Amino acid sequence: MTETENAPDFILPDQNGNNVHLADYKGKYVVVYFYPKAMTPGCTTETCNFEETLPEFNKLDTVVLGISRDSVTRQKKFADKYDVRFPLLSDEDGSVCEAFGVWQKKKLYGKKYMGIVRSTFIIGPNGKIVKMYPKVKVKEHHLDVLNDLKALRETGGKL
């Protein structure tokens, strides 16, 4: 996956069981962030940070979508616990994670395993990836994404 490529289209259920189709957001900027597991510390921080700044994303006419391999039920518990107002999508079979290239070999305490590498993508109104953030550090990441979106708006889509 590279910048300027078309983003892989997908339809996934959100935390309420409603199907979300990426193609429905053509004409808008879309932030798609992938996180390893709902209700873990890093994923909670990242999701709450996006939730906290959601009004800023809305002002930029930008949709925020979170994706993990958690079930719809777990996404619902996560969204309810932290009052998340944007869609948290369930990719239980991992096909969307694979399509975006975030399902990768990871290493923790010397053990190798497959998992989601925390990553974010800004998808432009034309459906192309305009910015990729591989191996995200959660603390200020949402602000980086917000600033890049503001720059995209000011420059007509160029970073």
The tens digit of pLDDT for each residue in 88-142 reads 999 999 999 999 999 998 887 888 889 999 999 999 999 999 999 998 988 899 9
The parent domain of residue 24 ranges over: 11-147
Judge whether 157 lies within some domain.
Answer: no
Q: Does residue 156 lie within any of the structural domains?
A: no
CATH code where residue 72 lies? 3.40.30.10
Q: Identify whether 97 is a catalytic site residue.
A: no
Contacts of residue 5, defined as CB under 8 A and 6 or more positions apart, other chains included, come to: 128, 129
Angle between helices 141-155 and 41-52 (to 10 degrees): 40
Residue 155 inside a domain? The answer is no
Q: Cα–Cα distance between 28 and 125 in angstroms, integer?
A: 4
User: Is 19 inside any structural domain?
Assistant: yes
Q: Which helix (H) or strand (E) holds 50?
A: helix 41-52
Instruction: Kindly name the residue from 22, 32, 43, 130 that is annotated as catalytic.
Output: 43
* In a domain? residue 1: no
Question: 1 or 58: which carries more pLDDT confidence?
Answer: 58
The answer to whether residue 152 is domain-embedded is no
pLDDT band per the 50, 70, 90 thresholds, residue 56: very high
Q: Taking 80 as the threshold, does the pLDDT of residue 6 lie above it?
A: yes
158 in any annotated domain: no
Residue 118: CA count within 13 A, CB half-sphere: 19
Report the number of distinct structural domains present in the chain. 1
